[in-house]
Amino acid sequence: MHEDRESCLRAVRSRDTRFDGWFTTAVTSTGIYCRPSCPATPPRAEHVVFYPSAAAAQAAGFRACKRCRPDASPGSPEWNAREDLVARAMRLVADGVVDRDGVDGLARRLGYSARQVERLVTAELGVGPLALARAQRAQTARILVETTDLPMAEVAFAAGFSSVRSFNDTVRAVFAETPTHLRRRVRRSPTVGGRRDAGHVPPSDPTGSQRLRLRLPFRAPLHAPSLFGHLAATAVPGIERWVDGSLERTLRLPRGAGLVRLHPPRDGDRHVTADLWLQDLRDLTTAINRCRRCLDLDADPAAVDEVLSADPALAPAVAARPGVRLPGTVDPVEFAVRAVLGQQVSTAAAATTTGRLVRGLGEPLPPSLVLRPGQPDLLFPRVADLAAVGPDDPRLPGMPASRRRALLALATAAADGSLDLGADAVRDGVRARLDALPGVGPWTREVIALRGLGDPDAFPVTDLGVRAGAAALGLPVDQRGLLARAEDWRPWRAYAVQALWAATTHPVATLPVQTQEIA
């Protein structure tokens, strides 16, 4: 979008928040880059240059606006929807692959040479993977500076910098302030950009674990009741809990474990509040990205609602629930296992069965993260451990033999790498691999694509809740007729599923009463 100068200028003049994260506005007369919605007086057109990302603006020598904080904008939904090399690279960079494995590791994951990846990403975004990772490290550092009392040297290494000197140089270049000045300014002022800041949160738990309170921004509107209602209704005992109006769950991260509590936004908020406790602070960036994907916070609700509202049958449902999101997952492999366990049973039964699997094969959360009685205190089983058990292992929950075979086949494929469900997964390739597994049919495949991979066009047409919703809205109920009607909903068929589920009589109004595998 940044190449359409007139459209970008109109967005800046209107201060339209829908375009935050789609591009950045750099002002040559001040050396500052902003969100499109920055509340400052719009600059003169001849002084404006547009960039596709904050990293590109930083690489060109611009520093972040202190008023609108463009480094904390929602992410571009383009990278979640597209499946080309650059989009896959962006998802891996966001998941911390470059910081952990370097550009060579990123290239290996993508199946290209490092030179090819560098060339293609630079051609699309104006900067290469290292600059993108540097911008992400700068934002992680800012979060740690502003929300913890960690010494600056610990902040530097936790954010992924190789030295304190590079940390200081980057923070000064990006934010035009030293790390110490950033921390002092936040302590002095409870607001940033005219909004209540998440602020400093001191260690307050009996274990001494430090809580990081973060704001996860999104594009309004967001229909929180359906999103959090779905996640609460499908919560698995031991790893997830809905308590005091918030979703709490454990996280298995690259360097250690974590615990997160996600609070739905209050009226007028444009962010979800997340409380994070991490065994290793270097996992902060990855944890943030996975929570964002779980809540589908980088979606563009205006684009989705515009397409779905064009269908007269869906229009009333869309108008009643604007800004519906896809309930996702923090771990696609975990969700794939949960989808198999949920075949042909109710939502409640699926959660109970999965809870038994977690108790049998899951790992206890490290003691430093066990903060209070009753909280989730187990980590979902490693897929390698699940693949290693025999079909008669007593730690497996009771289920039909055919489903047990399907579960172990999926775990084996995920463990040996033949089924790749990572951030760079190619969705059509995943579908083909799932189709080849025994006991995995259309419903399981599409539900994994929808919730596990966040595919905005996934469409489990065989789902009983989808068909019940179609009947309630006067849409075709037969699979062929419903698929034909759904062609007009592309590329947002997964969001149409949320409208169809909402049309059923389920008490959460977001879930099918029952799911069914139809091979």
Q: Catalytic positions, please?
A: 34, 463
Q: In sequence order, which ranges of 198-300 are alpha helices (DSSP H)?
A: 224-233, 284-295
Token representation of residue 338: 């949960």
The values of phi and psi at residue 488, to 5°, are -75, -15
Give first-to-last CA distance, the chain, whole Å: 42
Task: Give the helix/strand (H/E) hosting 517.
Answer: none
C-alpha to C-alpha distance for 220 and 203, rounded to whole angstroms: 32
* Cβ 298 vs Cβ 80: under 8 Å: yes
* Close Cβ partners of 361 (under 8 Å, ≥ 6 residues apart): 381, 385, 386, 389, 395, 396
- Report the length, in residues, of the chain: 519
Q: Which of 269, 222, 231, 273 is nearest to 249 (CA)?
A: 231
C-alpha to C-alpha distance for 216 and 285, rounded to whole angstroms: 12
Q: Give the burial string for 341-358 (b: 16+ CB within 10 Å, else e).
A: bbbbbebeebbebbbbbb
C-alpha to C-alpha distance for 501 and 506, rounded to whole angstroms: 8
Helix axes 85-94, 129-147, angle to 10 degrees: 30
Token representation of residue 79: 């990278």
Cα dihedral 274, 279, 284, 288 sign? negative
Token representation of residue 14: 């209107």
Q: Per the omega criterion (within 30 degrees of 0), is the bond before 491 cis?
A: yes
Q: What is the 8-class DSSP label of residue 128?
A: -
The values of phi and psi at residue 362, to 5°, are -75, 165
C-alpha to C-alpha distance for 113 and 116, rounded to whole angstroms: 5
* Cβ 508 vs Cβ 233: under 8 Å: yes
Pairing of strands 271-278, 363-364: unpaired
